[in-house]
Every structure is written in structure tokens, then in C-alpha cells.
């Protein structure tokens, strides 16, 4: 009899813990974030830039801040609005001056929106100063990671919504 009571207590406490965990998970808030990759392509003397944004964040931003409430990233107008927004919030500069980022396009794939840019240069700069303010004006918890890749070496910098300053990634030519 005593063994049965112990099993009942264990079962009830496990059930209670499961409900408590589920309610905490349901209340959890996903942090808004983005991932940008800048890859130096030696053959083209260019950076290929890909911004990966969460679809939900993009849709909310387009409808509430960037454009009018009927705008969606699934149509060309919404993608154009997003590309223009990205041009004003993601910037790169070399010691010689601003790096011109040409828009290539945007696409939706699953839960993500990809925005593509390209920067053609005469030569690899010795350093790149990066500023990524994407969605900092919209989401207070926004965090943006930028991975700069050159010769199979990746250097990462992270920007959160409280930072408005550029971060410098030094590049060295390897044999």
C-alpha cells in the first residue's frame, strides 16, 4: 500500500513538473536575430553578402514600421521595401572609404527571408568596418551576427540593439 502511495506522489509531481515546463515554454519569447555572411570571392574581387532574417520578424517590420499594413514579403513590393530598408541599416567601409553594396534581390525560403547584396572592389581591403542596425529601430532585443569569411577563415562580430557603432574586422592577405 505504501509503495502505491509513493508511485502516485511521483506520478503527480512528474505531471505537475511537465505542466509547469510547458507553460513556461509557451510564455517564452524568441529573441529577434539575424545572420549575415560576407564572403570574399577572390576570382570576382567582390564580397557576396547574404542576410538571413526570420520571416516573422520581417513580416511584422514591413507591416508595422517599414511599409503600410498590407505589405508582405511574399510580393515584389514588399521585397523592394525590405531591400531599401537593408541598404540603410547595413553598411560596410574600408580604410579607403564606403563600400558600395549593390542590391541583388530577396527571397523567402521556409521560415527565413534572404536578402542578397554584392560589393565589387578593386582589391581586398586591409580591414572592413561593419555597421549592422537591422531591426534595431523595431525590436529592442534585436541581435545581429555578421560573419566575414576570407580564405576559409571566419571572423564574427555581433551587434545588439543598444549598439550603434561600427566594428572593424582586419583582413590580412595569406599566401
In a domain, 133, yes or no: yes
Q: Is residue 52 part of a domain?
A: yes
Give tens-digit pLDDT for 119-131: 999 999 999 999 9
Which residues pair with residue 31 across a beta bridge?
Answer: none
The domain in which residue 37 lies consists of 31-170
Q: In this model, does residue 28 exceed pLDDT 50? A: no
The model's pLDDT over 34-63, given as tens digits with 9 standing for 90+, comes to 999 999 999 999 999 999 999 999 999 998
- Do the domain assignments include residue 123? yes
Whether 5 maps to a domain, the answer reads no
Q: Please tell me the least confidently modeled range out of 1-10, 82-91, 157-166.
A: 1-10
117 with 102: CB under 8 angstroms? yes
pTM for the model? 0.81
Residue 12 domain-assigned (yes or no): no
Residue 146 DSSP SS3:
strand
Domain presence at residue 90:
yes
Please give the Cα distance from 13 to 76 (Å, whole number): 53
Indicate whether 67 belongs to any domain: yes
- Residue 91, C-alpha cell as written in the block: 553598411
The better pLDDT of the pair 127, 163 is held by 127
What cell does 144 get?
545581429
Q: Is residue 160 part of a domain?
A: yes
Q: Phi/psi at 46 (nearest 5 deg)?
A: -150, 160
Cα dist. 154→40, 52, 142, 166 in Å?
11, 17, 22, 18
Please give the tally of structural domains in the chain.
Answer: 1
Amino acid at each position: 500500500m505504501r509503495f502505491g502511495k509513493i508511485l502516485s506522489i511521483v506520478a503527480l509531481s512528474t505531471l505537475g513538473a511537465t505542466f509547469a515546463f510547458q507553460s513556461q515554454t509557451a510564455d517564452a519569447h524568441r529573441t529577434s536575430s539575424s545572420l549575415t555572411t560576407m564572403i570574399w570571392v577572390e576570382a570576382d574581387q567582390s564580397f557576396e553578402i547574404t542576410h538571413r532574417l526570420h520571416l516573422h520578424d520581417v513580416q511584422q517590420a514591413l507591416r508595422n514600421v517599414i511599409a503600410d499594413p498590407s505589405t508582405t514579403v511574399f510580393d515584389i513590393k514588399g521585397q523592394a521595401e525590405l531591400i531599401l530598408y537593408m541598404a540603410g541599416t547595413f553598411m560596410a567601409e574600408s580604410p579607403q572609404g564606403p563600400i558600395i553594396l549593390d542590391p541583388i534581390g530577396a527571397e523567402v525560403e521556409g521560415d527565413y527571408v534572404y536578402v542578397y547584396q554584392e560589393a565589387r572592389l578593386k582589391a581586398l581591403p586591409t580591414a572592413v568596418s561593419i555597421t549592422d542596425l537591422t531591426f534595431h529601430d523595431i525590436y529592442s532585443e534585436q541581435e545581429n551576427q555578421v560573419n566575414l569569411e576570407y580564405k576559409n577563415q571566419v571572423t564574427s562580430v555581433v551587434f545588439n540593439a543598444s549598439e550603434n557603432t561600427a566594428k572593424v574586422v582586419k583582413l590580412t592577405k595569406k599566401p
